A and B are shown apart, each in its own frame.
Chain A
Amino acid sequence: MTDRMTQADDSDLVALVQAGDSAALGPLLRLHERRLFNVSLRMVSHREDAAEVLQEAMLKIIQNVASFRGDARFSTWSTRIVMNQAISHLRKRKLRKTTSLEASSNGSEDDDGPGSMLRHRLADHAEPGPVSRVEHSEMIEQLRAALARIDEQFRAVIVLRDLEGHDYHQVAEALEIPLGTVKSRLFRARLALRQEMERLDRGPAAVPASTDAQEARR
């Protein structure tokens, strides 16, 4: 489905929902469910948490769709809600971690049970050539790990720009930041990501338990 079609469908469905047709709610939400789940997943790096965030965000969307004015696209607006929910979730999680004795865990935040790597790998098929596939798959794994370690603001801009393919304007709307800030934040996010990638390249010993995203932010 093209973006334009999605947008057209969005507008119609949103209009129907706003007119009181609750039957249109399901199709509208399902249209964005997978995309929004992936935004959530990339942000919180944990499938169950991502589903939880998505559920909360969907509730907010349902509650507020009547007041959606259409200034931005529905997709951007819903992404913003998911993004805010995910950031809120991450902050709560960080708080829980800080107060937990388990805060010194060595595992990356994207651990999703023992089978996660396999699942991720399985999801990453369809690239040409086994060797390059493996390399690509390893790089994707590493990027996931690095992404999970950088500051959530940086993560958000990368998720929206690279994973969701939003343009700068949409990124600015979804993150509620000035358009001019997007590029500089994106550059710093890429830099932070690269630093984490290099740390991961050097091995686990070089990776601190907590992110040093603040350093990258400077």
Chain B
Amino acid sequence: MQANYDHEQLIDFIEGDLPPEGMARVDAMLASDPKLRRLIEAMKADRKALRSMPHEPVPVPVVDDLLVGMERQMLLGEAPVDEATDPIEVAAQRHRMRIGPRLLRVASYTGIAAALAFAASVVIIMLTESSLLEEADPELWGNGPAVTNATESADAKEAERLALADLDKIDMAARDALSAIGSGDTAAAPMDTLARADDRAFADPLVEAAESETTLNAAQVAGGPGQFALSLPDRDQTNVQIEVISDNAAETTRELHTWFARNDVQIVSADDALIGFGQSDFRLAEADSARADDDGKLASAKRAEMDAYHLEPGDTVFCVVIDNEQVPELMSYMNRSRDGRQTANIIQSQQPQRLALAEVKRAVDHAQRGQAAAPGAAAGLGRDHTSIASKAQPSEPASVVRPAAPSEQSHESEAGLAKDGGLAPSVARELEPSAMPDFADDSVALEDDGTFARRQAVDAVAKNDGNSNDRGLMAKQERAAELADATQETARQAPVDSRASAQVADMEAADASDSPNVLPEAATDRMKSDDLFLAEVNAFDWGSVLGNQLPLASSTPLVLSDRGRVVLPVVIRESRVAGRARLVEPADASTPAPNAALEVIEEPAPAE
């Protein structure tokens, strides 16, 4: 095609370098050849886009490093490396020459490390073999191994102690962080330890899944010692539910926790909560039983579960996600008799059901449509299926407690979702109203001061900036922004007990926006490191959408806000939200990190 044309003329046309008559001539030529016209137009678009590419900052101060290195060498007065006489050139050459010794040094260190690793592995193999032999025939070893046993035992106990202390530390850090954030003291949040908690509980599988974007689990929601986890077990992992028999629960639980810590097994549910474990299991701790008994549904669910698993009151159940290859080892460990009695059993073991990303998205779409059809439904639910708000404002910590009644609204959407045949049955079941935990009784509206509504409205307007033909919609959005402003003003002026009215205005504002909550892109420097966020997500998809990307930071109880959303503390790691996340403008630019930035992980599906 293009071979028949004059390349130079075409490139001049693309570059806009032709005189008017030349441009007209090429225009006429392109009019007669639609294929070429498309190509040239695409090339022009490429050129325009390329020219708009921003210059990226230099990640390391190359020049400064270079000059400092050269200056140091000049000051050290090392001998010239060759015949060069120019001091700058000599210093540059010296600097370069130092790369060689540095490489040699690195190589030698690597060699030493490899030798040490090899020696260590030999020692470990020898120890393992001696241990196996000892188990095979202790009599062969006489008195000698007794010393080894004592040493090993002491080591093992020390390792256990350290592992448990580590877990406790992480747990405490997570609680402290949440507590600090709740009280507005963001600086006190021990983020380093939280990051470690995150590393412990959410290793490669989560990252891989987030990156591959191909498969997602059905809701996998659980809590552990130190972290609540919306976990995403790998394909090669199995969920295991373990029952610890009540008469020796504390000791056995301690033993198991130690074993899990030593084998790097992720505990995904503590004994006080078991939600959405592949299926819709739901269990409350004894401490919550009284309250749960008020709700016949929960009590019956609990009784049914206990009956199904032959649990006695006081028995505890917890869950782990374990590598498939570790399952036999776990079973062997579990079956080991302790003091002649069986104290723990595996009561359920299953590989997680996986759900295609497309299905999750479809679920969200359906929920959105269901929401749109539900008159008077709460703002946000199902419309913006995942939105995240910065909640902990140092000046005004979120504090409103009100009896929220989101369940009807939630269930309208969820029921529509469950009826749809396109969903995987497990997901449909999870999204059934009956399968959802009913938070209505103990829900706490962790509401902000109107900032969120303002943001929603402003964002909605922003979204339509580029497509503002719909004047009615624009008017609505402007009204929403005004309402949100009024809400903020009211919230500022009103004492805490009148926040409820502000919330109503807030919801009206969000309703009036009548547009998906698309958050604007901005604030480029915030997402440089892990940060702790409070995330507000719709109740029905918190496990299936959010959970696959954002690990939660703490076992702090989940809180249901009004509008049927769950507020979650999450640790967001930049590496884990790549491609799915967009950084958005903090509600208040003066609010310090880690709460300042907002994050959305999944954009709403485009309207059909």
**Residues on A close to B: CB < 8 A?**
17, 22, 25-26, 29-30, 33-35, 37-38, 41, 47-48, 51, 54-55, 58-59, 62-63, 65-66, 113-119, 121-133, 136-137, 139-140, 143-144, 147, 158, 162-163, 165, 183-184, 186-188, 190-191, 193-194, 197
Contacts and interface: CB of A to CB of B under 8 A. Distances in A.
B8 interface: yes
Chain A to chain B: the 7 pairs with minimum beta-carbon distance, closest first: A129-B466, A162-B50, A114-B575, A187-B7, A29-B63, A187-B11, A129-B465
Scoring B7, B50, B574, B582 by chain A CB atoms within 10 A of each residue's CB, the highest score goes to B50
B570 interface: no
Nearest to A29: B63
A62 B88 CA distance: 7
Contacts of A137: 521
B304 interface: no
Nearest to B211: A114
Nearest to A38: B55
A194 B43 contact: yes
B213 to A, nearest CB: 11
Interface string B501-523: 00000000000000000101110
Contact of B521 (A30, A125, A144): A125
B600 to A, nearest CB: 11
Contact of A17 (B88, B210, B575): B88
Nearest to B51: A162
Contacts of A55: 62, 65-66
A34 B57 CA distance: 6
Scoring A41, A62, A123 by chain B CB atoms within 10 A of each residue's CB, the highest score goes to A62
Contact of B8 (A116, A124, A187): A187
Contact of A143 (B46, B95, B210, B577): B46
A22 B88 contact: yes
Given A37-B62, A184-B11, 20 more contacts: A17-B88, A34-B57, A51-B62, A54-B58, A54-B62, A55-B62, A59-B92, A66-B88, A114-B575, A114-B576, A121-B521, A124-B53, A125-B521, A128-B465, A129-B462, A130-B465, A130-B521, A143-B46, A183-B11, A187-B8
Nearest to B43: A190
Contact of B11 (A22, A114, A129, A186): A186
B62 A184 contact: no
A25 B67 contact: yes
Contacts of A147: 50
30 contacts: A17-B88, A22-B87, A26-B64, A26-B67, A29-B66, A30-B63, A35-B55, A38-B55, A41-B56, A54-B62, A58-B63, A58-B66, A59-B66, A114-B211, A117-B578, A127-B52, A129-B465, A130-B465, A130-B466, A130-B521, A131-B467, A139-B49, A144-B53, A162-B47, A163-B53, A183-B8, A183-B11, A184-B7, A184-B11, A190-B43
A58 B104 CA distance: 23
A143 B50 CA distance: 7
A130 B519 CA distance: 8
A74 to B, nearest CB: 15
Interface string B139-167: 00000000000000000000000000000
A154 B11 CA distance: 14
A198 B482 CA distance: 45
B328 interface: no
A51 to B, nearest CB: 5
Nearest to A62: B92
A130 B463 contact: yes
A165 B522 CA distance: 26
Nearest to B208: A114
A92 to B, nearest CB: 15
> For the complex, would chain B's binding face be called helix, strand, loop or mixed by DSSP majority?
helix
Contacts of A191: 2, 39, 43
A51 B579 contact: no
Contacts of A130: 459, 462-463, 465-466, 518, 520-521
A197 B42 contact: yes
A161 to B, nearest CB: 8
B35 to A, nearest CB: 12
A54 B524 CA distance: 24
Contact of A194 (B42, B62, B576): B42
A33 B89 contact: no
B26 to A, nearest CB: 13
Given A115-B578, A163-B50, A58 B8 contact: no
B524 A125 contact: yes
Interface in B43-91: 43, 45-47, 49-60, 62-67, 70, 86-89
A113 B64 CA distance: 26
B323 interface: no
B435 interface: no
A66 B51 CA distance: 33
Nearest to B71: A22
A48 B62 CA distance: 11
Contacts of A133: 521
Contacts of A115: 574-575, 578
Interface in B3-51: 7-8, 10-12, 14, 39, 42-43, 45-47, 49-51
Contact of A122 (B47, B65, B524): B524
A47 B62 CA distance: 12
Contacts of B42: 194, 197
A131 B466 contact: yes
B463 A63 contact: no
A37 to B, nearest CB: 4
A125 B518 CA distance: 15
B581 interface: yes
